[in-house]
Structure formats: C-alpha cells, structure tokens
Amino acid sequence: MTKSSLNKIAVAMVQPGKGILAADESTGTIQKRFDAISVENTEANRIQYRGALFATPDIGDYISGVILFEETLTQNHENGTSFVEMLESKGVIPGIKVDKSTNPLAGAPGEVITDGLDGLRGRLETYRSQGAKFTKWRAVINIGQDIPTDNAINANAHALARYAALVQEAGLVPIVEPEVLMDGDHSIDRCYEATELTLRRTFDELLSQGVVLEEMVLKPNMVISGSSASNRASADEVAEKTVNCFLRTVPAAVPGIAFLSGGQGDEEATVNLNAITKYAKSHGAPWQLTYSYGRGLQAAPQQAWLGKSENVLAAQAAFQERGKANAAAREGKYGS
C-alpha cells in the first residue's frame, strides 16, 4: 500500500533520535510560567522567549516538531522571519493546539470534558493555510475517589475521535492526547487501570469514527505513581507497566507514541523515558517511542532566560541540554 502524505508526516514526527516540543501554552498558562520567574506576560516577552527556543541553532537535531499556540502560529521572530518559516528551515514540523481547554463535565463531579469541537472544521482550514502540518487535542482524566467514571472516559474518548476525524479530513495529522493525570496519591496500579480503560475506549472510538491509525500520533501519559504517593514506583516499574499496558491497548498501526511529561521533574521524565524505551526494545514493541514535553524541555531554559535578552544564549544552551538528554533517552542511551 502506498504511504499517504499524512502517514509520512506522522512518521517524520516520531522519527528516531528526535521528539516534539510542546510550546502550546495558552496565554493564561504561560502567565503561570512567567510568574514563576517574575516576568511580565506581554506579547513581546512571549515572542522573545519562544523565538529564543525556535532559533536554537541545532534544534532540528533533536526536535522533529513543535506544537504552537494559536497566537504563535502567526507571529514573527524579532528578526522578521515568521516562526513557521524559521522552524521549517531547520527541518522542524510546525503544528497547532486546537482544543479550547477543559470545563466540568455535567453530572460528573471532579471530572472534566475538553471543549473546542464547535467551529473546528473552519479553524482547521485556517490553520492549514497558515502553515500547520499537525494538530493536538488534550483530554484529561482525573484519578480520585470513585473516579474516573465510565461516563468521563467515554465522553472524552468520543470527543478525541471526533477531533481526529475532522483533522484528517482537513489534511492534517492529529496528535491524540488522552492524559490520565498524575495528580494525587494513587498507586501505579490505579494509574495502570485508568490508563488501560482510557486507551481502550479511545481506540474503540477512533476506529468507529473512521480515523486512519497510520495517520496519527498518540500522546499519552506514562503509567506512573501519583505525584504525592508515599511510595512512588521506580523507573523500571514505570517502564514495565507502561509498555505492557500499551501492548494490550495500542494497535501496531499507530506510527508512534510521544509521551507527555505530565508534571514530572526534568530528570524524572528523562529517566523514565529512557527506561521505557529500553524495555520496549527488548519486548518487541511495534511503535516508535519518543517524547512530547512542555515543562520537561522548557523549565530549565525559562530559568536561564528570566525575561532578559542578554540571557537568550544561556536559555538556548539549557534547551539544547534538555533536548539532547531526551533524544538520548528515547533511544535508551541516556547516561550511557
């Protein structure tokens, strides 16, 4: 069978030695990031910060694609070059976050649903004309007392599939992101159970709505202990449970899995990714396994930058370090 153009993009997004940078923070979310480093959240500062990352000289050596926020897709670097052109000139594929964040799910206390399907078809045409090649939609599943419920998992899986079908119709590659949050004190086994249920329902919906699995990328959580659990699982256990869960739920037709960092610390996310890829290679996993990190790639450069133009080179050096570390981890070679 001839490989489609969307399959070629999906394969390029998860190519060996590289990962995806999630730089799609909404204006409200980046406010929190900037508050942490005492930087005013202005458009000029957002342009300078994101421009510093995108202009990093060797970014294409360890980053295959960048998820942009709607604002960023149409912005220019301080040198006048559009961010889309800058990324493409470095061999990096530009993409766009298309969901409109989460709101409480009716009749489901403590659970949420992602908004943004209304008007999506028209927005996708605009994003494609502006240079986007792929998109991302995040669904959030919480673990707590008596949750997640089937209602929340089913509703979010259905929305993810509707999104993905519209995206492929528009000639773009969908990143499908069902995230089981690590917030809480739950065990790794609770995370395994919730992740397995979420992935099963998500792929049931994707298939029922005609989404072509070869033309998408999955962006899930790792199977991991809750962030405030008393005895958090080791990287080896995270690797074993994550890969085994995915072997049971993710079809081999999916080109690749790009893990989110999900609030893990920089080093934790890298060490866990390294363990997962090593375990996967020794157990015949059929997909490319890589990273799609936001904070896991950006926390260090933000601390180096601090809103000062004279710190741009230091921010780029910090970004290079995190990028190279995770590029090694996705090959199971971090620290070796």
70 has a pLDDT exceeding 70: yes
242-297 pLDDT, tens digit each: 999 999 999 999 999 999 999 898 999 999 999 999 999 999 999 999 999 999 99
What average pLDDT does the segment 309-334 reach?
97
Strands (E), the chain: 19-23, 63-68, 93-97, 102-104, 112-114, 134-141, 173-180, 217-218, 256-259, 288-293
Q: How confident is the model at residue 18 (pLDDT cuts 50, 70, 90)?
A: very high
Quote the CA–CA distance of 169 and 179 in Å, as a whole number: 24
* 188 within domain boundaries: yes
Quote the CA–CA distance of 221 and 219 in Å, as a whole number: 7
What average pLDDT does the segment 67-86 reach?
95
* 242 within domain boundaries: yes
What average pLDDT does the segment 128-140 reach?
98
Average pLDDT value over all residues in the chain: 96
Which pLDDT belongs to residue 263? 87
Q: How confident is the model at residue 58 (pLDDT cuts 50, 70, 90)?
A: very high
For residues 334 and 313, the answer to whether their CB atoms sit within 8 Å is no
Whole-model pTM: value is 0.96
* 279 within domain boundaries: yes
For 121, other C-beta atoms within 10 Å of its C-beta total: 12
Q: Which two tokens stand for residue 113?
A: 């649903």
149-200 pLDDT, tens digit each: 999 999 999 999 999 999 999 999 999 999 999 999 999 999 999 999 999 9
Which pLDDT belongs to residue 77? 93
* 80 within domain boundaries: yes
**Structural domain containing residue 319:** 5-329
335 has a pLDDT exceeding 90: no
CA 28 to chain centre: 18
Which pLDDT belongs to residue 3? 72
Task: Give ∠ CA 212-215-221 in degrees, rounded to 5.
Answer: 100
Which pLDDT belongs to residue 2? 52
* 278 within domain boundaries: yes
What average pLDDT does the segment 299-319 reach?
97
* 336 within domain boundaries: no
What average pLDDT does the segment 84-105 reach?
97
Q: Which two tokens stand for residue 49?
A: 């910060």
* 335 within domain boundaries: no
- Neighbouring-strand partners of residue 114: 102
Q: From 199, 206, 125, select the one nearest 160 (Cα to Cα).
A: 206
Active site positions, annotated: 177, 219
Q: What percentage of the chain carries pLDDT values higher than 70?
A: 99
Which pLDDT belongs to residue 90? 96
Q: How confident is the model at residue 1 (pLDDT cuts 50, 70, 90)?
A: very low
CATH number at residue 29: 3.20.20.70
Run of H or E residues at 71: helix 70-73
**How many structural domains does the chain have?**
1
* 334 within domain boundaries: no
Bond before 178 cis per omega within 30 degrees: no
